Chain A
């Protein structure tokens, strides 16, 4: 639970920390689309360098990014493996009955691997350098046009931010209940799977009950403080779009242009 890096914020004051969360979010989503433009080693090299540069800008140690990849490594390797097996073309290196490993298969496998890692790195960069609440605000503002389609964007983002606010409380409480039950002789992570499942009841039930109470208190507090869903509310948390935010989007467009140019120059597969 504590080893998960993706989704965690590292306080800091780097250039990236100071970017507007909307700019980061837009650029991040854009980057994932741009990745699909890459089709030869030159384009992958450019994207790799770009990712590396962004990571350096975040002032967060490289090791922390690697830890972000670790929980997903099996999923990545599995996909890479499938890619290698089912892509044909070019020279055949190994022909073993139904299993053939070809030149194109290997190259594609490497590409897929790079693509995965870059997506993880870039999304980790965003979450490491942006407070969750700022991301929520950015999502709220960027999705606002959806309100025209009667999607309750404000309510959804308030729900999201309240959930974020309760995560630390919930973790504390889990720790507390676990300690209390350990003091009563429960041993966690021991015995058969069935026994282990049974030890979870004394933890989840109290947590469930207290979360329900909490939710009721919270709803009362919100009502007393004048909250009514669907009514127009002003916003205290202001976001400021600065020059560097425009600049960051401009860099993304430059990157796209470069990629399109390198693509048409031709490479493997063309």
Chain B
């Protein structure tokens, strides 16, 4: 596994006169094809990190290197097309008046010839199941559909890294689940890396790795099972919560984190023994 994102000693503050830093001395790497969930309370610096990663803000100290390119020096249009960012509010990121116009926007910016654009747009919209809606007005779509279009806009540019800045937060649980599984599928087939900034624990639990930010520092990083075992203040996914409830009621269960599959298997086995 080779790292695609390398962040070293990243420090940032919005107001230079204030001592306190929004992000201080952050260092981490993300491997190719990995899904990293970044969690933390409001004000922990999560969204600032997203803006730094795509070059919307400039770090005060430290460096960010994505796919071999230093974010700050080479942040020209070609550098940008390696990274996609999906924002929280799907409403405010649409530029085109139809779905396909919007997907086209990023391609127009790199001056892609028309024939190539048509091909790429068709493919990207099919990947997120929005091809039938290509001539629709984006403002008439549901929240989940809008985020799908936004993701298609990134995919058309064949990015190596997609950053989700609380992109699933405004969706209802059902569209959230559906979009999550679409994204997980895309990671495998298109070999994309994802950094997801989120406070949805179900989403975090399905990531490869979770990184917890608190007051601009990384307090913990590790696999979901490790994180949910050690950070008892985080609300874990349902199966683990059930396990804890059962333990308090005298049930005998292992201390370590259990996924839903493991929990179901265990209860079934127990049933067979009885």
Q: Do chains A and B touch in the complex (CB under 8 A)?
A: yes
Stretch in A15-23, A140-148, A164-172 with 4+ CB within 8 Å of B: A164-172
B: contact size bracket:
35 or more
Q: When the two chains form the complex, which single residue of B105, B117, B121, B139 contacts A225, counting CB atoms closer than 8 Å?
A: B105
Q: Is the CB of A236 within 8 A of B85?
A: no
Pick from A168, A220, A226, A233 the residue with the most CB of B within 10 Å: A226
Q: Is the CB of A226 within 8 A of B81?
A: yes
Judged by a CB distance under 8 angstroms, whether A91 is at the interface is no
* Least Cβ–Cβ distance between A198 and chain B, in angstroms: 30
Specify the chain A residue showing the minimal Cβ separation from B83: A224
Q: Is the CB of B56 within 8 A of A224?
A: yes
* Least Cβ–Cβ distance between A64 and chain B, in angstroms: 22
Q: When the two chains form the complex, which single residue of A132, A234, A238 contacts B112, counting CB atoms closer than 8 Å?
A: A234
State A232–B139 Cα separation when bound (angstroms). 28
Q: Is the CB of B93 within 8 A of A217?
A: yes
Q: Is the CB of A217 within 8 A of B92?
A: yes
Judged by a CB distance under 8 angstroms, whether B113 is at the interface is yes
Q: Known interface pairs A226-B80, A231-B77, A233-B111. Does A221 touch B93 (Cβ–Cβ under 8 Å)?
A: yes
Judged by a CB distance under 8 angstroms, whether A214 is at the interface is yes
Specify the chain A residue showing the minimal Cβ separation from B96: A165
A: contact size bracket:
20 to 34
Q: Known interface pairs A169-B139, A226-B80. Does A217 touch B87 (Cβ–Cβ under 8 Å)?
A: yes
Judged by a CB distance under 8 angstroms, whether A223 is at the interface is yes
Q: Is the interface of A mostly helix, strand, loop or mixed?
A: helix
A residues 101-157 with Cβ under 8 Å of B?
131-133
A residues 166-181 with Cβ under 8 Å of B?
168-169
Q: Is the CB of B97 within 8 A of A234?
A: no
State A225–B110 Cα separation when bound (angstroms). 10
Q: Known interface pairs A224-B54, A226-B81, A232-B111. Does A168 touch B104 (Cβ–Cβ under 8 Å)?
A: no
Judged by a CB distance under 8 angstroms, whether B39 is at the interface is no
Q: Which residues of chain A have C-beta atoms less than 8 A from B121's C-beta?
A: 236
* Least Cβ–Cβ distance between A15 and chain B, in angstroms: 21
Q: Is the CB of A225 within 8 A of B109?
A: yes
Q: Known interface pairs A236-B100, A236-B104. Does A221 touch B111 (Cβ–Cβ under 8 Å)?
A: no
Chain A residues engaging chain B, CB cutoff 8 angstroms: 131-133, 161-162, 164-165, 168-169, 213-214, 217-218, 220-228, 231-238
Chain B residues engaging chain A, CB cutoff 8 angstroms: 51, 54, 56, 77, 80-81, 83-85, 87, 89, 91-98, 100-101, 104-114, 117, 121, 137, 139, 153, 157
Give 5 nearest A-B pairs by CB, closest first: A236-B104, A217-B92, A221-B93, A226-B109, A225-B106
